[in-house]
């Protein structure tokens, strides 16, 4: 990584407001690895926050004005409200204050090729797959990923090459602050409509992002919205999809026991060889094909792709098996959009479990309200559904929407205010052979841990 942006040059002490966020942690890992002195604050204990502390980064619990003392650059997450006392003090201090996505954009400009993975669904898994392939292949990449990759011990990594893998999120046009080299476009689906308002606006943002690429575009050749986003974009194009009409596609897909799937990787009608992946679901077959296409676009061989995918056994919070007690398997997944819930539950139902019990934490009032019917349809794939209350995050409940509104549309669904109540209920209804799957991008994983504790008792 070559520090080239004036905002980072000469800085010694960088303070992170909300350092435990999944988007903040990898940036902290990279800057800590580059020798910057970091401090941070957060309001909520979390597994990610424990990883931050394990790096030796001082963390203050609770956000107060005095936490910023001594910092010569202050970074905050988009979730920090304008009335946050620490953010108010930061803006009054005279020290430069930037939002997390601005820092991520700065970091992408420090690399020769920032391989940016965008799309509504599958970004984290595909970014992890690409990173694992490049690691196994000796490319020594840096990485900023939205989920934990065991091979790098977290969400971020500092490599010695000019290659970086970066998860590029469309939320509030965050990805337009990046400087992409190679772009991977997985799909475009209806999401963040509280910001984008219309699909036309959402597609237009992806169009802008793809137009910014310095290198080739690796694109889902079967996604109609992706095709619209590419109209008028003059960049080298590599396509992937289920059909052999794409540059890369899978053939002869075989689902083995548990989470093992194998398939032939086809390149323009020629079989390059057989690949094995150890994450469940047809959607992950397509993610693997996208990862293979992207890795080969930056110089990886088929053998390096094969070794990398075989070594990848999932990202944190992506169908992550947390444990088994009393014959009951407990897993956790980040799915928080109806399409993601559907893909994850279909993958779960295809495995060898007696029943699938979905424990879902809806995330943001706007998404829950706008996609209420779609959420109900997707969650109804499970044999039993348990809901927590909606996690509002950055929003206030001006939508007047509650989990009970969603529960009423799902047969047999129940909801509870607290995670302990959820755990007690789940422990009372599970049977040996069941899969309990917690779902959501908030802190629903805490309920999974309580369920495992309850089952042990």
Q: Which of helix, strand or coil describes residue 1?
A: coil
Catalytic residue among 48, 108, 120, 124: 124
Catalytic residue among 11, 123, 306, 446: 123
Within 8 A by CB and 6+ apart from 38, the residues are: 13, 14, 15, 16, 19, 28, 31, 32, 57
Q: Which helix (DSSP H) or strand (DSSP E) does residue 156 occupy?
A: strand 154-157
136 is known as an active-site residue = no
Q: Give CA angle at 45 (40, 49), nearest 5°.
A: 50
Tell me the CA distances in angstroms from 455 to 21, 355, 385, 433, 452, one per residue in order.
29, 17, 18, 13, 5
Contact 413, 285 (CB under 8 A): no
- Alpha-carbon gap, residue 396 to 198, rounded angstroms: 22
123 is known as an active-site residue = yes
Q: Tokens 């992890």 — which residue?
A: 128
Query: CA 52: distance to chain centroid?
Result: 18
Tokens, residue 391: 């996690």
DSSP string, 7-34: TTTT--EEEEETTTSTTHHHHHHHHHHT
Residue 268: left if φ>0, alpha if ψ -120 to 50, beta else—which one? left
- Bridge-based pairing of strands 270-277 and 261-267 is antiparallel
Catalytic residue among 167, 170, 320, 325: 167
Q: Which of helix, strand or coil describes residue 60?
A: strand
Active-site residues, by number, are: 123-124, 167
């Amino acid at each position: 990584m070559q520090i080239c942006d004036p905002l980072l040059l000469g800085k010694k002490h960088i303070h992170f407001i909300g350092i435990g966020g999944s988007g903040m942690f990898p940036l902290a890992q990279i800057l800590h690895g580059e020798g910057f002195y970091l401090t941070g604050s957060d309001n909520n204990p979390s597994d990610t926050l424990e990883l931050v502390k394990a790096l030796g980064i001082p963390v203050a619990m609770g956000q107060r004005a005095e936490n910023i003392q001594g910092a010569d650059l202050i970074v905050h997450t988009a979730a920090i409200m304008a009335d946050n006392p620490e953010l108010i003090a930061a803006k009054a201090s005279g020290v430069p204050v930037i939002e997390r996505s601005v820092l991520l954009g700065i970091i992408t400009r420090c690399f020769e090729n920032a391989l940016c993975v965008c799309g509504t669904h599958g970004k984290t898994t595909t970014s992890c797959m690409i990173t694992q392939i490049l690691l196994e292949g000796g490319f020594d990449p840096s990485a900023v990923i939205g989920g934990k990759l065991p091979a790098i011990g977290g969400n971020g990594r500092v490599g010695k090459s000019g290659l970086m893998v970066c998860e590029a999120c469309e939320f509030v046009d965050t990805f337009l602050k990046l400087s992409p080299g190679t772009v991977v476009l997985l799909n475009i689906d209806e999401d963040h409509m509280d910001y984008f308002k219309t699909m036309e606006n959402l597609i237009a943002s992806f169009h802008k992002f793809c137009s910014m690429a310095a290198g080739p575009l690796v694109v889902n050749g079967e996604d109609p919205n992706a095709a619209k986003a590419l109209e008028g974009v003059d960049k080298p194009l590599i396509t992937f999809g289920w059909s052999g009409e794409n540059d890369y596609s899978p053939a002869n897909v075989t689902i083995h026991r548990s989470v093992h799937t194998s398939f032939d990787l086809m390149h323009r009608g020629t079989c390059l060889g057989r690949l094995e992946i150890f994450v469940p679901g047809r959607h992950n077959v397509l993610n693997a094909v996208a990862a293979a296409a992207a890795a080969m676009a930056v110089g990886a061989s088929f053998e390096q792709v094969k070794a990398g995918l075989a070594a990848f056994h999932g990202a944190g919070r992506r169908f992550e098996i947390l444990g088994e007690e009393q014959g009951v398997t407990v897993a956790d997944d980040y799915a928080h959009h109806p399409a993601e819930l559907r893909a994850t539950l279909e993958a779960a139902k295809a495995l060898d479990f007696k029943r699938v019990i979905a424990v879902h934490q809806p995330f943001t009032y706007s998404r829950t309200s706008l996609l209420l019917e779609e959420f109900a349809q997707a969650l109804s794939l499970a044999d039993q559904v348990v809901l927590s209350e909606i996690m509002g995050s950055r929003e206030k409940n001006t939508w007047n929407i509650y989990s009970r509104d969603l529960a009423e549309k799902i047969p047999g669904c129940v909801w509870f205010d607290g995670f302990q109540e959820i755990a007690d209920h789940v422990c009372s209804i599970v049977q040996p052979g069941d899969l309990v799957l917690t779902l959501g991008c908030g802190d629903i994983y805490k309920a999974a841990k309580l369920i495992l504790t309850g089952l042990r008792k």
